[in-house]
Amino acid sequence: MSVRELFERHHLRLYRYFVRLSGAPSVAEDLTQEVFLRALRAAADYRAQGQEVAWLFRIARNLWLDRQRQRHRRPQAVDSTPDDLPVPASQELGLHLDQALGGLPEDEREAFLLRETGGLSYARIAAVCDASVESVRSRIYRARRALRAALAEPETTHLKLLVEKP
Amino acid sequence: MENDAQEVLSAFADGEPVATPRLLDALTRPGAHETLVELIRLRSAVEETERDPRPEFVRRLRARLDPARRPWWRRGVLVPAPALAAALACVLAAALLLESLAPGLRAPQATDVPPAPDRVLYFEEGVDWTQLSNSSRRF
């Protein structure tokens, strides 16, 4: 499968993954682009057919971790600059969800997003994160428990509102 | 509901393989239905708030990744080994043909025979040099 075909199939998932991680569409665009450009450069050496999604998300994860390390060295870089880009379908719920995600430990947030946004199986998440399947299962469960608690607080109750709306 | 049972339901909601006795135990516990509903609500919340990239970004990146629109030296086209071997054979044949047609073009070969002199210089004793008696030489 060519990188172009991979792009058509998976760019949306990768973009959404980066948007959730960074909270900034412009950052998500930059990182999504970099994933596919790196994939293009490495495509000739890639041999593990059938594992392309995990491969792309592994590149994505490494990019994100590199970026986080650079940001720690240069704290003036800020993601929260306002973007003139598309807003969430449900802006308020999206904001609370992003805040709740931001409060999770890195490993739980990562596993949760790879599952929900990336659509990866536990085995593939384990391969991407260098973890065991059991560990991935626990991380996703803990993330869900924390998110449910955060979104079900009396002042928000977004989960109920979402389902009860007409 | 205990955490272990909730973790089983979480994996079950993701379509992951779960041991049947553990799943049965988790599903028959009080609160199992509510837990599953909450999990689906959370998934729905994530889906409802997903954002899409700008169409112009997608268009631009798609064009960048299109092999036909990239310069040939950046396409990373792999040359099949037989084609590469045939090309090398053609170059070699062309070189041999050129050598047979114009042997003078070939670089001179190394040999043990010294070249013939094109002039000879003679040095005369007493004029150009003098033999000294105390074994030291002076020119």
Residue A81 pLDDT > 50:
no
Q: Tell me, what's the pLDDT at B106?
A: 60
Q: Tell me, what's the pLDDT at B84?
A: 79
Average pLDDT of chain B? 83
| Residues facing residue B14 across a β-bridge | none
Residue A74 pLDDT > 90:
no
Buried b / exposed e along A23-50 (16+ C-beta atoms within 10 A): bbbbbbbbbbbbbbebbbeebeeeeeee
Greatest CA separation for chain A: 53
The distance from CA A62 to its chain's CA centroid, rounded to whole angstroms, is 12
Average pLDDT of chain A? 84
Using a CB-CB cut-off of 8 Å, the residues of chain B touching A146 are: none
B interface residues, A as partner, C-beta within 8 Å: 3, 6-7, 10-11, 14, 16, 38-39, 41-46, 48-54, 57-58, 61-62, 64-67, 76, 78
Q: Tell me, what's the pLDDT at B82?
A: 79
- Secondary structure (DSSP) of A40-76: HHHGGG---TT-HHHHHHHHHHHHHHHHHHHHHH-TT
The beta-carbon neighbor of B53 closest among A3, A15, A87 is: A15
| Residues facing residue B125 across a β-bridge | B129
Cβ–Cβ < 8 Å for A108, A142: yes
| Residues facing residue B130 across a β-bridge | B138
Looking at residues B106-131, what average pLDDT do you find? 78
Residue A161 pLDDT > 70:
no
Q: What is the pLDDT of residues B47-96, one digit of tens each?
A: 989 999 999 999 999 998 887 666 555 555 556 677 878 888 888 888 88
Radius of gyration of chain B (CA): 44
Please indicate whether residue A78 or residue A145 has the higher confidence score (pLDDT).
A145
Q: What band does A77 get if pLDDT is binned at 50, 70 and 90?
A: very low
Please indicate whether residue B19 or residue A160 has the higher confidence score (pLDDT).
B19
Residue A65 pLDDT > 60:
yes
Using a CB-CB cut-off of 8 Å, the residues of chain A touching B53 are: 11-12, 15, 25, 28-29, 32
CA quadruple A150, A152, A157, A160: dihedral sign: positive
Residue of chain B whose Cα is closest to the Cα of A116: B43
Q: Tell me, what's the pLDDT at A106?
A: 93
Phi/psi region, residue B31 (left: phi>0; alpha: psi -120 to 50; beta: rest), is left
Q: What is the pLDDT of residues A41-61, one digit of tens each?
A: 887 777 666 788 999 999 999
The residue type of A32 is T
Q: What is the pLDDT of residues A7-54, one digit of tens each?
A: 999 999 999 999 999 989 999 999 999 999 999 888 777 766 678 899
Q: Tell me, what's the pLDDT at A88?
A: 47
